[in-house]
Structures are given as structure tokens and as C-alpha cells.
A = this chain, B = another copy of it.
């Protein structure tokens, strides 16, 4: 996150307390929070913070490579401060999103027709599954 702070300063961006609080919450966070998650958490320290500030900051972070926008959940966007290439697995039971650190770029062959028409820039794999807790609930009948 230090790097990001340096990047912020280098671009004439300001490190306000609110922004720092958002950065601190995101740093090392692997829970893939939504804008609302971030808002609620930062609100505890800065009760007057507004949604607009959260969205503005996320926008700025996106533009500076500080967070990735995750679209695996059709209901809302999630944000991921882990910006080196990786993938995700989502539990279809509880919607928990977990990181998958594997590089599939070398093995994801594409049809020649596609390769003829597209210059490939990247890939992202979403896995769907049932986590341990949700399998438990399913079989044992526990709530």
C-alpha cells in the first residue's frame, strides 16, 4: 500500500483521512468487499463520510491500479485490492468470493478464428462451487 500512497502523491492526488481509512481497510483485505461494505466500515471511524466519497475514491483507485472491480456477483460490484493477476471462486451457497492464484495464461488456447480477429490482452477465470460450510448445511440438514 506504501507504493500506492507514493503513486497518489506523485499524481497530485491528496491523502485525506477518509482516503487513508479506505486504503487501510482495503490493504491485505481478501474478502472482496462491496462499496457498501467499505462505506459501513469506514463510517465507524469517520461517521460523516458519504457514499460519494467511497465511490470517488474507488474510481481514483481503479484508474491508478489500486483496486480491481470484480463482476462475478450480478447484484453488485466487489472490489479487490489484490491487483496482481489472479482468479476467483465463488460459493453458490453463501456468495463468498475467494482468490485463486494460478496462472492459466499459458494453457488457455483459443480457436484460430478468435485469434485471427482479436489481439488477446488478458483472461479471468471464475469458478463456481460449494464451500465446506454450505455443503454441511445441505447434507446434514443443519439450518
Spot the interface stretch: A19-27, A34-42, A48-56, A130-138. Answer: A130-138
Q: Mark A89-102, 1 if CB is under 8 A from B, else 0.
A: 10110000010111
**Contact status A127-B110, CB under 8 Å:** yes
CB distance from A77 to the nearest CB of B (A): 6
A127 touching B123 in the complex, CB below 8 Å, given contacts A110-B100, A111-B102, A118-B91: yes
**Contact status A130-B111, CB under 8 Å:** no
* Complex Cα–Cα for A109 and B131 (A): 17
**Contact status B129-A118, CB under 8 Å:** yes
Question: Measuring CB to CB, which residues of chain A are less than 8 angstroms from any residue of chain B?
Answer: 69, 71-74, 77, 89, 91-92, 98, 100-102, 104, 107-111, 114, 117-132, 135
* 21 A-B pairs (CB sep. < 8 Å): A89-B120, A91-B118, A98-B114, A98-B117, A100-B114, A101-B111, A108-B125, A108-B127, A110-B127, A118-B127, A118-B129, A119-B130, A119-B135, A120-B127, A120-B128, A121-B128, A121-B130, A122-B129, A124-B125, A124-B126, A125-B125
Given A91-B118, A126-B126, 9 more contacts at CB 8 Å? A89-B118, A98-B118, A101-B111, A102-B111, A110-B127, A118-B130, A118-B132, A123-B128, A124-B125
Closest 8 CB pairs between A and B? Answer: A118-B129, A122-B128, A119-B130, A120-B129, A71-B71, A121-B128, A124-B126, A123-B127
